[in-house]
């Protein structure tokens, strides 16, 4: 692929499907399709930005709250720009993440394209992300973007439907809700990023110019989304073993049985309960202990994501802890209860930051 001046292209190999949104067919019907059909650039960019924020917070940098904002009803939820700083060129107008990705009144610094290896529309197992500068991008920003993409590839996942749970049940492995999504591998970067050491990058993301004057750049309920609170286990999977056994649910603190709470029978997907004539209310949707706040937070809800993710093909499991509620020791013990003490390593975000930039120094 021929590059214009200043462009940078990341070439990826998809190890699983990537889910980036819905498409409309010729008849105007909305259908959800995985990466083999189409890659939606907005879905990918939103995921990249989220992980960029996680990395910046993990380096004690200043990243604004990404949750939906209504300043009239809840002024504590504050996304950039800072309402008290009017000029976009003034320090503290926006955070270090918005400096690169943009916010209201401050455009994104790059054009983002998802392409195949020859520069066409991506629809194959390999795809490229092309970043074309629209305004000067600092070497530190390129370095952080590079680290973010490698964080996703080596320790996380990209796109949607990453909360699906694996299964060991042979008759259910083909079900959509048991499929892995979002696992990729970086196979080439052109040109290579500028080498910047970790100390200088930490100084950049912590700079006073990014500090918000309202001191509400990140609301308390979202401070967990930081690499400081991130953990990762390579080569291990949490899955459903049978209708009555799920190591994933055991770690979350949910009940393991899939039996219907109304009739006691395990229903196949899309089948209704014969008693209520409605979608079955499964035991596995409830916590073992409804007063267990740790389990409630880890398991999330329909409006809130789980804080733990697991994949079977290219096995990996990762998640977050929340200071003041659950620490790494408690999380590791929950995993030990299902995996035992040996045969796996529990890696925390502090180790990952060092590994990301150590690998960066070693690359040619």
Indicate the SS3 state at residue 172: helix
For 37-58, how does the pLDDT look when each residue is reduced to its tens digit (9 = 90+)? 456 788 899 999 999 999 999 9
Report the distance separating Cα 129 and Cα 117, nearest Å: 10
Give residue limits of the domains in the chain.
8-228, 254-287
Closest by Cα among 297, 288, 304, 355 to 330:
297
Q: Which helix (H) or strand (E) holds 334?
A: helix 328-339
Tens digit of pLDDT for each residue in 333-357?
999 999 999 999 999 999 999 989 8
Q: Is it the case that residue 174 has pLDDT exceeding 80?
A: no
Q: Which pLDDT band, with edges at 50, 70 and 90, does 65 fall under?
A: confident
pLDDT of residue 200: 94
Q: Which two tokens stand for residue 154?
A: 């080596």
Query: Taking the alpha carbons of 28, 32, 37, 39 in that order, is the dihedral positive or negative?
Result: positive
List Cα–Cα distances, 310 to 239, 320, 340, in angstroms.
8, 12, 17
Asked if pLDDT for residue 274 goes beyond 90, the answer is yes
Q: How far is CA 117 from CA 9, 46, 114, 255, in A?
A: 10, 22, 10, 46
The alpha carbon of 145 is separated from its chain's Cα centroid by a whole number of angstroms, namely 15
- Tokens at 259, concatenated: 């039996």
Strands 240-242 and 110-115 come out as unpaired
State the pLDDT at residue 69.
45
More confident residue, 215 or 14: 14
Alpha helices (H) in 132-179, listed in sequence order:
139-155
Could you say which DSSP state residue 307 is in? S
Asked whether the beta carbons of 235 and 344 are under 8 A apart, the reply is: yes
Question: At residue 201, does pLDDT exceed 80?
Answer: yes
Would the pLDDT of 84 be above 90? no
The first and second tokens of residue 129, run together, are: 């992300």
Alpha-carbon span 91 to 209, nearest angstrom:
4
Mean pLDDT of 196-218: 80
Residue 323: CA atoms inside 13 Å, Cβ hemisphere, count?
10
pTM for this entry: 0.87
Locate 270 and state its tokens.
């899309």
d(CA 308, CA 178): 15
Between residues 84 and 228, the one the model is more confident about: 228
256-273 pLDDT, tens per residue? 998 999 999 998 877 899
Q: List, for residues 132-164, the tens digit of each pLDDT value.
A: 999 999 999 999 999 999 999 999 999 867 666
Question: Can you tell me whether residue 297 is helix, strand or coil?
Answer: helix
């Amino acid at each position: 692929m021929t590059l214009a001046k200043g462009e940078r292209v990341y070439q990826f190999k998809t190890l699983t499907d990537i889910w980036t949104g819905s498409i409309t067919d010729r008849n105007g019907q909305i259908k959800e399709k995985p990466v083999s059909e189409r890659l939606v650039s907005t879905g990918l960019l939103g995921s990249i930005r989220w992980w960029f924020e996680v990395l910046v917070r993990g380096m004690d940098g200043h990243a604004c709250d990404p949750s939906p904002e209504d300043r009239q009803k809840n002024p504590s939820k504050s996304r950039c720009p800072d309402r008290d700083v009017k000029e976009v060129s003034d320090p503290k107008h926006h955070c270090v993440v918005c400096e690169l990705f943009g916010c209201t009144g401050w455009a994104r610094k790059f054009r983002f394209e998802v392409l195949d290896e020859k520069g066409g529309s991506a629809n194959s197992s390999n795809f490229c992300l092309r970043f074309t500068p629209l305004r000067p991008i600092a070497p530190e920003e390129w370095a952080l973007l590079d680290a973010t993409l490698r964080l996703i590839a080596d320790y996380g996942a990209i796109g949607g439907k990453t909360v699906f749970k694996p299964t060991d049940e042979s008759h259910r492995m083909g079900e959509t809700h048991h499929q892995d999504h979002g696992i990729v591998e970086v196979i080439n970067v052109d040109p290579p990023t500028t080498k910047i050491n970790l100390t200088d990058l930490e100084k950049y993301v912590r700079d006073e110019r990014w500090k918000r004057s309202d001191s509400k750049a990140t609301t308390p309920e979202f401070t967990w989304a930081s690499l400081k609170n991130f953990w990762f286990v390579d080569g291990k999977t949490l899955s459903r073993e049978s209708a009555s056994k799920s190591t994933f649910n055991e770690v979350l603190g949910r009940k393991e049985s899939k039996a219907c709470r109304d009739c006691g029978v395990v229903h196949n997907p899309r089948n209704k309960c014969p008693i209520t004539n409605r979608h079955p209310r499964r035991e596995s949707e409830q916590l073992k202990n409804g007063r267990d706040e740790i389990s409630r937070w880890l398991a999330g809800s329909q409006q809130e994501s789980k804080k733990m993710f697991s994949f079977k093909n290219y096995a990996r499991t990762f998640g977050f802890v929340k200071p003041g509620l659950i620490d790494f020791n408690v999380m590791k013990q929950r995993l030990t209860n299902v995996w035992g003490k040996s045969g796996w390593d529990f890696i925390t975000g502090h180790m990952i930051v060092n590994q990301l930039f150590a690998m960066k120094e070693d690359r040619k």
